[in-house]
Amino acid sequence: MRTTVGIIGAGPAGLLLARLLHNAGIESVVLEGRDRAYVEQRQRAGILEQGTVDVLREAGVGARMDREGLPHDGIELRFDRRRHRVDFPALTGGKQVMVYAQTEVCKDLIAAQLADGGPLLFEAEALAVEGADTAGPRIRFRHEGREQTLDCDYVVGCDGFWGVARKAVPEELVRTYERTYPYAWLGILADVAPSHDELIYNRSDRGFALMSMRSPHVTRAYLQVPAGTEAESWSDDEIWAELDRRLEVDDPTWRLARGPITSKSVTPMRSYVHEPMRHGRLFLAGDAAHIVPPTGAKGLNLAVGDVITFARALTAYVEKGDTEALDTYSETCLRRVWQAERFSYAMTTMLHRAPDATAFDDKIQLAQLDRVTTSKAAETDLAEAYTGFPV
C-alpha cells in the first residue's frame, strides 16, 4: 500500500489534515486504531478559535458547525464575588470563538472523508514508523487481523501522547519540557440549559470552577479537585453544591441551574512540549508533540495550527518546489506552541488555588485578576490569546 502522506490518528488534527490535502490534490491515507464509534463519541475540547472556525469553513466542512455551533463574543471572569465580562470582538478587531464539540468536528470530517476523500481505515493499529530519516518512510500497522505496511513520502503523527510516531525520533535528538500540576478537573455533562450565555471562569478560595456548555440544552461544568481524584467519589448533589459555593457573586440575579448529570470524568493537568516536531520526513502534530492544561482552551486549536502549517508547507513544495516551509515546520509550530503554553500556564496558575497556597499567593492571584479587569492592555492580551494566535 502506498500514498504521499501517511497520517496516523483520526482525531480532529489527522482528519482535518486529510481534508486539506485532498482539497490541494495531494493523496493521503489515515490510519486510526479505534473504531468509528469511539472516535465520534470521545469527549474532548469544545472551544474553537476564530482561526479554527475559518479553516473548517474554507475546507468545506463548516456547514453543520454554523447551524448548530454557538458563537461566543466573550467570557466572564469571576473572583472575589465580582463579575467581569471580557468582550472579544471589541478587543481583537472582531474575533469570536465557537462552542462546538470535538466529537461533532470529527463526525463532520469523517463524513467528508468517507464521501470523497482518500482511504480512512478504522481499527488499523499503527505499530511503528520506520525509515523516518530516509526518502521513503513507512508505517507498519495491523488491520483486519494481519500486519501491513504503508509506504509514504511523508508521515504525520497525529496519534496523541501515547502514540508510536514520537518514538521514531532518536532519543539523542529529543528535548522535552514538562510540568505536572497538583490538581485536576472533575468534569460533568448535565441535561440542563446553561446558567449563563457565555463561559464563566471562576477563581475562589475553594478552588477553580468553570461553567461551559455543549448546546442550548446541555451544560458542561468543571471543578478543580486534587490530582488522582476518582470521578465517582463525588455525588451529583455534592457537585452542584460545590459549584454553587464557588460561583457565588454579589449579584441577586445570578442562579445556578441544576439538572440530571449524565457523565462524569476527571482530566489531569499537565504542560508538555517535545522538540523537535520534525525528524526527516516524519512530522508531529497535536498531542504527539505538545499538551496544555485545558484552562486556555488551546489543545485542539494548537493541533489545527500544526496541520494547517504542514498542509501549506507541502502544498508550496508540490506547486512551486519550495522546501523552506517544510524545512522550518518545527520552528514555525513551536513559536505558536510556546505562546499557547505561556497563556495556558498563566490562566491555570491565576485561577487555580494550589494545595499549599499561602495568603501571599492568594493576594497575587487577586492582583493578577484585578490587573486583567482594569487594564485594557492586559485584557486585550487575554482576549487575543484566547481567540487564537496567528497561524
Q: Where does the pLDDT of residue 46 fall: very low under 50, low under 70, confident under 90, or very high at 90 and above?
A: confident
Contact 84, 371 (CB under 8 A): no
Q: Would you give the distance in Å from CA 329 to the centre of its chain? A: 20
Q: Where does the pLDDT of residue 42 fall: very low under 50, low under 70, confident under 90, or very high at 90 and above?
A: confident
Q: Which of 320, 180, 185 is nearest to 264 (CA)?
A: 185
Query: How far is Cα 277 from Cα 332, in angstroms, rounded to an integer?
Result: 10
pLDDT > 90 in the chain, percent = 97
Query: How far is Cα 377 from Cα 373, in angstroms, rounded to an integer?
Result: 10
Task: State pLDDT tens for residues 267-289.
Answer: 999 999 999 999 999 999 999 99
- Give the chain's length: 391
CB proximity list for 280: less than 8 A, separation 6 or greater: 132, 133, 134, 137
Q: Where does the pLDDT of residue 209 fall: very low under 50, low under 70, confident under 90, or very high at 90 and above?
A: very high
Report the greatest alpha carbon distance in the chain: 66
CA angle 230, 231, 234 (to 5 degrees): 100
pLDDT at 44 over 80: no
Query: How far is Cα 299 from Cα 337, in angstroms, rounded to an integer?
Result: 10
Looking at per-residue confidence, does 312 or 41 come out higher? 312
Helix (H) or strand (E) holding 100: none
CA angle 187, 243, 345 (to 5 degrees): 60
What structural domains does the chain harbor?
5-72+97-177+270-347 (3.50.50.60), 181-268+356-387 (3.30.9.10)
Stretch 222-243: mean pLDDT, rounded? Answer: 97
SS (H, E, C) 27-48: CEEEECCCCHHHHHHCCCCCEE
Sign of CA dihedral 382, 384, 386, 391: negative
Report pLDDT for 203: 98
pTM for the whole structure: 0.95
Task: State pLDDT tens for residues 321-341.
Answer: 999 999 999 999 999 999 999
Query: How far is Cα 251 from Cα 229, in angstroms, rounded to an integer?
Result: 32
Q: Where does the pLDDT of residue 18 fall: very low under 50, low under 70, confident under 90, or very high at 90 and above?
A: very high
Task: State pLDDT tens for residues 108-119.
Answer: 999 999 999 999
Query: What separation in angstroms does the CA of 208 have from each of 97, 187, 189?
Result: 22, 12, 17
Task: State pLDDT tens for residues 372-381.
Answer: 999 999 999 9
Mean pLDDT of the chain: 96
Burial 121-155 (b: 16+ CB within 10 A, else e): bbebbbeebebbeeeebbbebebeeeeeebebbbb
Q: Can you read off the three cell numbers belonging to residue 300?
A: 485542539
Stretch 196-225: mean pLDDT, rounded? Answer: 96
Active-site positions read 72, 201, 294, 298, 386
Report pLDDT for 65: 97
Grid look-up 478587531 returns 93
Count of Cβ atoms closer than 10 Å to residue 213 Cβ: 25
Stretch 383-388: mean pLDDT, rounded? Answer: 97
